[in-house]
Amino acid sequence: MQEVYEIQDMLAELAQTHIRHRTNRPVDYKLQIDETLPAILMGDCARIKQIISILLSNAFRYTEKGSVTLSFGFIENRAENDYITLVASVRDTGIGMTEEQVNRVYEDFANTCAGKNSDASLVSVSTSITNRILSLLNAKLDILSELNVGTTIIVSIPQIVASAKTLGAETARYLSELSELSGEI
């Protein structure tokens, strides 16, 4: 559902929600935010939070030590000033995937978009759900992964800029500190 939302509120909720995923493992949770990100956007905030939550949950699930980093930035649409591409990435130092496993995720995404049934033995239910949400958001998914090194999943989502106001350095720093506090809980 298209709605006007404040990116700060969405990021704060994501940061606080995923503090609990750290458990007792030595995993740092980091949040990196472009301070020039538009502060107020129009899009499907609930689905964006859902997709990022799924990606973060998987990153924490497959990372025994090291870090999980959530980054937010954007790409300006030069043709239309009212639109940007919101770029969110989830990077982990977990178990990673082979090239074959990454290709299977892409194949499932293509099959989901085409309305075909995916082979549940090849990919997880969360990947299937993620693919459906990505399709609804007209979003793009990129995966960079190396076995035993980690995975970075980048989601690019078109959004409407609802205000010229930007997030700002102070707010970006505050949000980053929320994730840093996760190590103390």
Mean pLDDT of 146-168: 94
Distance CA 154, CA 137 (A): 14
Non-local (6+) Cβ contacts of 137 within 8 A are 43, 44, 47, 48, 51, 157, 158
Query: For the segment 5-50, what is each residue's pLDDT rounded down to a tens digit?
Result: 999 999 999 888 877 666 677 888 899 999 999 999 999 999 999 9
pLDDT classification of 121: cutoffs 50, 70, 90:
very low
Distance CA 37, CA 76 (A): 10
Mean pLDDT of 149-165: 95
Q: Long-range contacts made by residues 116-125, C-beta under 8 angstroms, separation at least 24?
A: 124/58
**What is the number of other CB atoms lying within 10 angstroms of the CB of residue 169?**
11
Query: Domain-by-domain residue ranges, the chain?
Result: 3-184
pLDDT greater than 80 at residue 125: no
Instruction: Give the helix ranges, DSSP H, for the chain.
Output: 7-17, 45-61, 99-113, 125-137, 169-181
The answer to whether 142 and 153 are in contact (CB under 8 A) is yes
The answer to whether 109 and 90 are in contact (CB under 8 A) is no
**Phi, psi values for residue 148, rounded to 5°:** 65, 10
Q: Residues 70, 71, 72, 74: what is their CA dihedral angle, to the nearest 10 degrees?
A: -140
Query: For the segment 26-38, what is each residue's pLDDT rounded down to a tens digit?
Result: 888 899 999 999 9
pLDDT greater than 90 at residue 105: no
The answer to whether 145 and 105 are in contact (CB under 8 A) is no
Higher pLDDT, 63 or 110: 63
> Given this structure, which CATH class describes domain 3-184?
alpha beta
Mean pLDDT of 66-88: 90
Distance CA 88, CA 176 (A): 15
Nearest Cα neighbor of 151 from 79, 89, 71 is 89
